[in-house]
Amino acid sequence: MLMDKVGPVKSKTAAWLNNYQSKIVSSDEALKILKSGDNVVVQPGCAAPMELIRAMVRRKDELEDINLYHILTVGPLPYVEPGMEKHFKHSAFFIGANTRKAVNEGRADFIPIFLSEVPLLFKNGIIKSDVALINVSPPDEHGFCSYGIDVGTIKTPAEKSKTIIAQVNNCMPRTLGDSFIHVNKLKYIIEYDEPMQELPQVDPDITPDMLEIYNQIGRHIATLIEDGSTLQMGIGAIPDAVLKYLKDKRDLGIHTEMFSDGIIELIESGIVNNEKKTLHPGKIIAGFILGTKRSFDFIDNNPIAEFHPQEYVNDPFVVAKNYKMVAINSAIEVDLTGQVCADSIGTKFFSGIGGQVDFIRGAARSEGGKPIIALPSTTKDFKISRIVPALKPSAGVVTSRGDVHYIVTEYGVAHLYGKSIRERAKALINIAHPSFRESLEIFAKENFNI
């Protein structure tokens, strides 16, 4: 008997159940619908439908020029391996570790775009999807499956696709919000249970010196966060460090493109209660989770959180409706005028625009809001400054100097909004690593007359 997250589906009231059962096939049977030249959108992140991906790759010798679209995924991605480029071409809206080499070697592509606009490419027909591959929870008693831990950039594209193939997976949490699809919209159903891909918070290779730097950055950011603020933060050492220093705060809220394991302790301790939010009070609003089973279990059927498509979550005008919205984002390098590079290292693409600009602009327009860019002052080997005279040739300006308000390193906070170029350069030199301040000052004197 089909099981949902609560118990057996009540067949007396489930008029959709026969339709559901008639759509169940094997993954190999379902993927026969693919034909050369098709555009395929794949549910990304920790929710990637791995069994459907494996079945698609098993058909590689029968297929050519399959175009695959998604933001980053977690775990193995066989269709970007060398030798697959004749069969599959991936276009990344945000580059993950498992696709970075393929993008920079020309076996995959990168589409620079604000995260809020990724679903609009499909909604507005700029990219037409033939097939969507999704990973969903079992249906509830009304026939609705949840997109689970990744709703943001898949719900709209999937439902604009000609064909939707769903991996119905008992391991997928049932998340709430605008996060459901009815079984009647599915072409094929594969009942296949496997755990979600996991992305742990802690970098096992982090050194004690770098950990202390991140902690210093976290302390500085925490001083900017007031009681009653609503937060956006991602995954990584800096967000983790910030969370450590919020334990004396009160009535914090969350409105974020994604979250991870780190916020659970703040929720359980009552520090994050969402009660002072001016938009969706009492609720965490997010698009997806990048984390581990701890997050997945916590969020399963939990009414504290609502998941929504990214065109809503990341809309700067929506973000700005949150009082005291604090956006915390990272960078690869920042130049002395305040330009922020966050997606590339010179000509080498590293990640993507993501939601940085969406939230920086939303927080800037929030009453009492604070848009923050945070980064260590140097690379991990301490040999290269990340506060630079000028960005590397071909480096991408993700956040413009006109959008920047606060830049934070382990040496402090530079408040740049409304400041002249000379004032900006002085403020940024003050938070650069001491080993590089003299060379930065020489450049600033020669170019900005400070």
> Domain of 28?
17-191
In terms of domains, do 144 and 242 share one? Answer: no
Looking at residue 114, which CATH number applies to its domain? 3.40.1080.10
| 276-307 per-position pLDDT tens digit | 999 999 999 999 999 999 999 999 999 999 99
In terms of domains, do 415 and 339 share one? Answer: yes
Domain assignment present for 126: yes
Positive or negative: CA dihedral 62, 63, 68, 74:
positive
Q: What confidence score (pLDDT) does residue 10 get?
A: 52
In terms of domains, do 338 and 416 share one? Answer: yes
Q: Which of 191, 222, 246 is the last residue of a domain?
A: 191
Q: Which of 51, 191, 257, 333 is catalytic?
A: 257
Cα 97–chain centre separation: 13
Q: What angle do CA 305, 308, 313 make, to 5 degrees?
A: 100
Domain assignment present for 3: no
* Number of domains into which the chain is organized: 2
Domain assignment present for 442: yes
In terms of domains, do 108 and 216 share one? Answer: no
What does the alpha-carbon distance between residue 15 and residue 13 come to, in Å, rounded to a whole number?
A: 6
Q: What confidence score (pLDDT) does residue 6 get?
A: 44
Q: What confidence score (pLDDT) does residue 385 get?
A: 98
Contact 322, 198 (CB under 8 A): no
Domain assignment present for 110: yes
What does the alpha-carbon distance between residue 100 and residue 112 come to, in Å, rounded to a whole number?
A: 14
Q: What confidence score (pLDDT) does residue 7 get?
A: 46
Segments in the chain below pLDDT 70: 1-13
In terms of domains, do 131 and 235 share one? Answer: no
Domain assignment present for 201: no
Q: Is 257 among the residues known to form the active site?
A: yes
Q: Which of 137, 159, 191 is the last residue of a domain?
A: 191
Domain assignment present for 124: yes
**If you search the block for the tokens 């809503």, which residue do you land on?**
312
In terms of domains, do 217 and 187 share one? Answer: no
| 298-342 per-position pLDDT tens digit | 999 999 999 999 999 999 999 999 999 999 999 999 999 999 999
In terms of domains, do 251 and 390 share one? Answer: yes
In terms of domains, do 215 and 75 share one? Answer: no
CA torsion 296-298-303-304 (nearest 10°) is -110
Looking at residue 352, which CATH number applies to its domain? 3.40.1080.20
Q: Which of 191, 226, 250 is the last residue of a domain?
A: 191
In terms of domains, do 235 and 135 share one? Answer: no
In terms of domains, do 62 and 171 share one? Answer: yes
